[in-house]
Every structure is written in structure tokens, then in C-alpha cells.
Amino acid sequence: MTKLIDGRAIADKVYIDLRREVAELKAKGVTPGLAVILVGDNPASRAYVRSKDRMCRELGLHSMKLELPASTTQIDLLARVEELNRDSSIHGILVQSPPPAHIDEAAIVRALAPHKDVDGFHPENVARLVLEDPSGFVPCTPLGVQRLLLETGVEISGAHVVVLGRSMIVGKPLALLLMQKNKNGNATVTVVHSRSGNLAQTTRSADIVIAAIGRAEFLRADHIREGAVVVDVGINRVHDRLSERGYRLVGDVAFEEVSKKTSAITPVPGGVGPMTIAMLMANTVKAAKQSL
Ligand code: GUN
């Protein structure tokens, strides 16, 4: 029997600690504040931004949600970011990705004050991750995946972890995080992607497979060995006539067949997703603490 990793339950454990930390900060006169900027009206992004805002409120954080029209210019957006950089009630700033095509996302990320970059996308925070400097911000999804594994009791240290996908948001930072020289890392990490040869041969040699390739049900049973741990980072909308919304959410893992072989696996939804938001809250609290 495979163990179903319950991301919501583990996120709830994270929130117990965070509530205490928020209370301590408030006692010192600091309310952690998060600003989330959404440009345009991508429905999935809208849903994410709404959950982030809701979770801030539940934890007693100061939440600022800026919903800007798709016509917002690069200059307007830069001005908003600079305003938030100067706003002392805001400790974390997140610009929801992907922005509309006319926005130069890399330039926006570079404009963020690194000490408010709770996404961990600014080059200074990427460097801190590579340098294993714990004062930096690590992207939320990789942090959430690491925490899920640790809380589930999966041994990362010494394991062969295969990360499927090389994105700046998940694959690359996750590989860096899990190979760090500390007790929560120490993994042997292999990164495979859409152009890798012998992909199945590589994933079959893994103790832990983390799928973040952005393709619905890409990882099949013959990609993994018996007893492997599988973490599914994917959230894909697939057309479904029978569903009320007209679509359903599936991960990057063909759950039905893969779960017959795993020792532990995350579901979609209810696996990595809740952990990403929990780590965003944790990074915001960390930013507020560092502001003291
Ligand atoms: N879009 C999908 N995931 C993320 C994330 O972690 N941060 C931001 N800013 N945008 C995203």
C-alpha cells in the first residue's frame, strides 16, 4: 500500500508554528505584510492570488492585492514595485507569473528589493541559494516539496533524487536545495527535462522522483521503480465535459498507475499546492523578522 502524502495536513502544521511567530512579531509592533501583484486576468493566476490573499488574512497578516489590467505598461509596473519597495508596511512582494507577453519579467524581478523578494527569484537570492546562505529567500514550491518529504519521514540525505523539469521556479532551485550540504539536503540530484535522452532509465534509478515538467500525466508507471517516492508538482487543466467547470485538474503524474508502484505519493490537488502557499507565508514572516 502506498502512503498518500497529505499536503493540506502538513501545511496546517506549518501554520501552527507561523501563528505563534506572527503573534511574537505583533507583540513587537510588526505585522508581516505581503503585496501580491497580478497583471491581466489569467484565470489560474487569479485563483492563486485569491488563495494567497485569503491565507494572509487567516493568519492575521497585512495583505495587499493589486489587480492591474492586462494593458499595464512595463513602466507602470516598475513604478508599483518601487512604491512597494519603499512601503514599510510591506515585507514581501510577489508578482504573479506569468505576466502578459509585453512585460519583461526578468527586469521586474530585478527591480524588487531582494530583502522583500519572498519568491526568491531575484539574482541576489538565487546566488544565496547557490552559496547556501540561509538569510536568502528560497522559492516557495521547492521549499514546500522539501518540507513535505521531511515531514513524511522520507530520507533525503544520501537518496538519489531525480527532478523532472528545469524551470527557474521549480526544477533548478529544487535541485540546488536538495543537494545542499546540510541534514535536510545531501541528496544526489539528477535533473532531466524534455530534451533528455534515456529519461525513463534515469527516473527508474531514482529513490525519489519529483515531477515538475508541466505536462499532464507525463510520468507513467514504467518511469519508476517499485517502492519509489513520487512528488507531483504539476497542475494542469484538462478538458472534461462531465465536470461542472468544463475541466479537471491533473498533475504531471499518471496517478492511477504510478501509485500502484510507489511507497509514497502526493495527490493533485492537495499535495504540493497547499505547501507552496504555506512557504510563501513562511517567507513573508521571515522577511518581517529580518526587518527588525
Ligand atoms: N506562478 C506559478 N508559481 C508561482 C510562484 O511561485 N510565484 C509567482 N510569483 N508566480 C507563480
What are 255-285's pLDDT values in tens digits? Answer: 999 999 999 999 999 999 999 999 999 999 9
Q: At a CB cut-off of 8 Å and minimum separation 6, what does 189 contact?
A: 161, 162, 163, 175, 178, 179
The whole-number pLDDT of residue 104 equals 98
Q: Which of 116, 117, 125, 169 to mutate to test the pocket of ligand 1 (most atoms within 8 A of CB)?
A: 169
Quick check: 7 pLDDT over 90? yes
For ligand 1, atom 9, the nearest C-alpha belongs to 96
Give the pLDDT band of residue 161 (cuts 50, 70, 90).
very high
Between the CA of 245 and the centroid of ligand 1 the distance, in Å, is 23
Q: Which residues pair with 199 in a beta bridge?
A: none
How high does pLDDT run on average in the chain?
A: 97
Active site residue 119: yes
Q: pLDDT for 14-32, tens place per residue?
A: 999 999 999 999 999 999 9
- What confidence category does residue 1 fall into, taking pLDDT thresholds of 50, 70 and 90? confident
Give the E-state strand segments of 79-155 in sequence order: 92-95
Residue 98 CA, closest ligand 1 atom number: 1
Rounded-to-integer distance, Cα 283 and Cα 173, Å: 15
Q: 202-260 pLDDT, tens per residue?
A: 999 999 999 999 999 999 999 999 999 999 999 999 999 999 999 999 999 999 999 99
Does ligand 1 lie within 6 Å of residue 140's CB atom? yes
Average pLDDT over residues 1-20: 97
Q: What is the pLDDT of residues 173-194, one digit of tens each?
A: 999 999 999 999 999 999 999 9
Which residue owns the Cα nearest ligand 1 atom 11? 97
How far is ligand 1, taken at its centre, from the CA of residue 28, in Å?
30
Q: 238: CA distance to ligand 1 center in Å?
A: 20
Is 0.75 topped by the overall pTM? yes
Residue 145, ligand 1, Cβ within 6 A = no
Closest C-alpha residue for ligand 1 atom 3: 97
Ligand 1 neighbourhood includes 141 CB (under 6 angstroms):
yes
Stretch (H or E) spanning 106: helix 105-111
Tell me the H-state helices in 3-104: 7-27, 43-59, 74-86
